[in-house]
């Protein structure tokens, strides 16, 4: 989880706090301190919106205002006391969902004067030099049960890890930057002397301009693909492109274009050298009710679909389709998405209808795909398909959540390299039909997960997937069973 390095703030807060802690657990300042920093001691009147706002942040686990870790809101507080609580909330800004981020912004504006006296960096001048560091560490145990005689995970291949460190900051009032370094995907225990045990790479590297060229924001660089729908079209690791966003009244517009697949011969002039593998998306979203959001968009993909007669790598050709026949040159299609709040639960759904160009081999020329998910989680990931972000609030010990989802994807419905469920089912990539690299093509998939915050910023997850071939007639397989995945993982956020 994010830990903002705010040395100046704490240099101001610590001496004041040491001199002013009372039995109630909140600071009361004597005259010498008042004279030194000249803060505002006026009470915030009862009924002021700030009480309710901080109460919501406390309920979400973002702040703990009193010594017993609860925000009571049963007595009148001074502006300076509020400033202490808001300063804590600012340190956890990136862990909050969008609604709570808006509350933190509103509170920091209301108490800006007091925060500045505390040394909290909320002024524009100070924000220019602020650099934040965050990260996460993950350990996983994975087992699988593949069908049709495919190889089963064994030995050290059942254990892997991931380390990521993220840096972010401001260039000026309108420019922000982000970089993240991660270990190579699939790091296995016992491989410390190989690329899959020690090599790191840049999976995020962006610059975002605000209020530029008529857009609210323009982001350029490398970032996870999360730019259309809820994630049936998506990619957890970095892709290179440009994202633009614009709010027009109640309508939100966003568009993205970029490269979603690696070019193995880039710069050689051979084979696929120079192939852009370009994906372009455009989407409009509208808030239909307090608990219902709807989005509709279109995509164009200059990405081909390829199969082999064995369903696996053959004569140097790596298939992109979970079939043993057929191909196509490119694709395009439309997508409709929604998220709906059902009491304490959130339901999301995506529906995609694609058209394939140059289709051969009996593939459907107009393949469809859909996915639906239900969770009781209240964390930042509840409005995206698992596991884009935690469904739990990692700062609240004991917070837990369950998730159930189902997806049905016809062959070629989703551009290769942009499958949102690829790599969520872990198995050997060399198996003829892969649930690992092609978990979002010609499949039906049931996905169950449970998360629990077993210690502050420490999340235990249990996951199960049962992935089956959707159209066995396109594979020649004797069974529709593709793979089952069983996973336990520990994640540490900071």
Residue range 263-322, pLDDT digits in tens: 666 667 766 667 778 999 999 999 999 899 999 999 999 999 999 988 888 877 888 999
Give the per-residue SS3 of 73-142.
CCCCCEHHHHHHHHHHHHHCHHHCCHHHHHHHHHHHHHCHHHHHHHCCCCCHHHHCCCEEEEEEEEEEEE
Range scoring the smallest mean pLDDT among 124-128, 147-151, 380-384, 436-440: 124-128
**Same domain, residue pair 94 and 181:** no
**Same domain, residue pair 312 and 199:** yes
Higher model confidence: residue 62 or residue 17?
A: 62
Is 50 exceeded by the pLDDT of residue 124?
A: no
Beta strands in 327-366 (DSSP E): 330-342, 345-357
Q: What is the mean pLDDT of residues 33-37?
A: 34
The set of residues, in sequence order, having a beta carbon less than 8 Å from that of 329 and lying 6+ positions away, is 304, 357, 358
Is 70 exceeded by the pLDDT of residue 122?
A: no
- Dump pLDDT digits (tens) for 167-213: 998 888 899 999 999 987 778 888 777 777 778 889 899 999 999 99
Give the model's confidence band at 125: pLDDT under 50 very low, under 70 low, under 90 confident, else very high: very low
**Same domain, residue pair 77 and 20:** yes
**Angle at CA 474, nearest 5°, toward 432 and 272?**
60
**Same domain, residue pair 322 and 178:** yes
- Dump pLDDT digits (tens) for 336-356: 999 999 899 999 999 999 999
Contact assessment for residue 420 and residue 335, using Cβ atoms and an 8 Å cutoff: no
**Same domain, residue pair 222 and 323:** yes
Domains: count for the chain: 2
Q: For a pLDDT cut of 90, what percent of the chain falls above it?
A: 49
**Same domain, residue pair 270 and 376:** yes
**Same domain, residue pair 118 and 150:** no
CA dist., res. 19 & res. 228, Å (int): 52
Q: Of all helices (H) and strands (E), which one includes residue 37? A: helix 31-37
When the pLDDT of each residue in the chain is averaged and rounded to a whole number, the result is 83
Contact assessment for residue 220 and residue 242, using Cβ atoms and an 8 Å cutoff: yes
**Same domain, residue pair 123 and 138:** no
Higher model confidence: residue 261 or residue 6?
A: 261
Q: What is the mean pLDDT of residues 117-143?
A: 71
Residue-level pLDDT at 357: 96
**Same domain, residue pair 121 and 166:** no
Q: What is the largest CA-CA distance in the chain?
A: 84
Give the domain extent around 16: 3-127
Is 50 exceeded by the pLDDT of residue 67?
A: no
**Same domain, residue pair 13 and 57:** yes
Residue-level pLDDT at 104: 86
């Amino acid at each position: 989880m994010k830990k903002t390095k705010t040395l100046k703030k704490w240099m101001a807060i610590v001496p004041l706090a040491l001199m002013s802690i009372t039995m109630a657990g909140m600071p009361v300042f004597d005259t010498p301190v008042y004279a030194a920093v000249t803060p505002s001691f006026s009470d915030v009147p009862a009924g002021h919106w700030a009480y309710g706002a901080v109460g919501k942040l406390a309920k979400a686990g973002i702040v703990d205002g009193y010594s017993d870790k609860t925000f009571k809101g049963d007595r009148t507080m001074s502006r300076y006391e509020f400033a202490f609580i808001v300063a804590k909330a600012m340190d956890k800004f990136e862990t909050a969902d969008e609604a709570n981020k808006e509350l933190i912004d509103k509170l920091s504006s209301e108490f800006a004067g007091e925060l500045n006296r505390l040394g909290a960096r909320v002024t524009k001048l100070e924000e220019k030099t602020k650099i934040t560091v965050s990260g996460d560490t993950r350990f996983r145990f994975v087992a699988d049960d593949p069908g049709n005689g495919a190889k089963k995970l064994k030995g050290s291949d059942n254990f892997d890890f991931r380390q990521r460190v993220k840096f972010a900051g401001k260039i000026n009032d309108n420019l922000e930057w982000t970089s993240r370094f991660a270990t190579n995907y699939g790091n296995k225990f016992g491989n410390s002397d190989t690329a899959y045990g020690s090599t790191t790479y840049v999976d995020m590297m962006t610059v975002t301009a605000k209020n530029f060229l008529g857009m609210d924001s323009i982001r350029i660089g490398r970032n996870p693909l999360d730019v259309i729908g809820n994630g049936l079209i998506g990619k957890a690791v970095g892709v290179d492109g440009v994202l633009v966003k614009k709010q027009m009244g109640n309508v939100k517009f966003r568009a993205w274009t970029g490269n979603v697949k690696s070019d193995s011969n880039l710069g050689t002039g051979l084979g696929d050298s120079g192939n852009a593998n370009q994906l372009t998306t455009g989407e409009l979203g509208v808030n239909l009710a307090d608990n219902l959001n709807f989005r509709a968009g279109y995509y164009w993909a200059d990405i081909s679909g390829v199969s082999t007669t064995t369903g696996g790598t053959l004569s140097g050709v790596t298939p992109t389709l979970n079939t043993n026949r057929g191909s196509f040159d490119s694709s395009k299609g439309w997508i409709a998405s929604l998220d709906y709040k059902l009491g304490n639960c959130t339901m999301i759904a995506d529906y995609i209808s694609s058209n394939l160009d140059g289709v051969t081999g009996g593939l459907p020329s107009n393949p469809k795909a859909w996915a639906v998910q239900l969770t009781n989680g209240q964390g930042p990931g509840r409005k995206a398909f698992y596991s884009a972000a935690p469904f739990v609030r990692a700062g609240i010990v004991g917070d837990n959540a369950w998730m159930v989802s189902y997806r049905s994807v016809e062959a070629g419905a989703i551009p290769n390299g942009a499958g949102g469920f690829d790599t969520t089912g872990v198995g050997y990539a060399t198996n003829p039909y892969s649930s690992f690299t092609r978990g979002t093509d010609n499949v039906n998939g049931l996905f169950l997960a449970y998360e629990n915050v077993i210690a502050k910023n420490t999340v235990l997850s249990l996951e199960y997937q049962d992935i089956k071939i959707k159209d066995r007639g396109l594979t020649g397989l004797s069974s529709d069973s593709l793979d089952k995945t069983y996973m336990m993982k520990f994640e540490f956020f900071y």
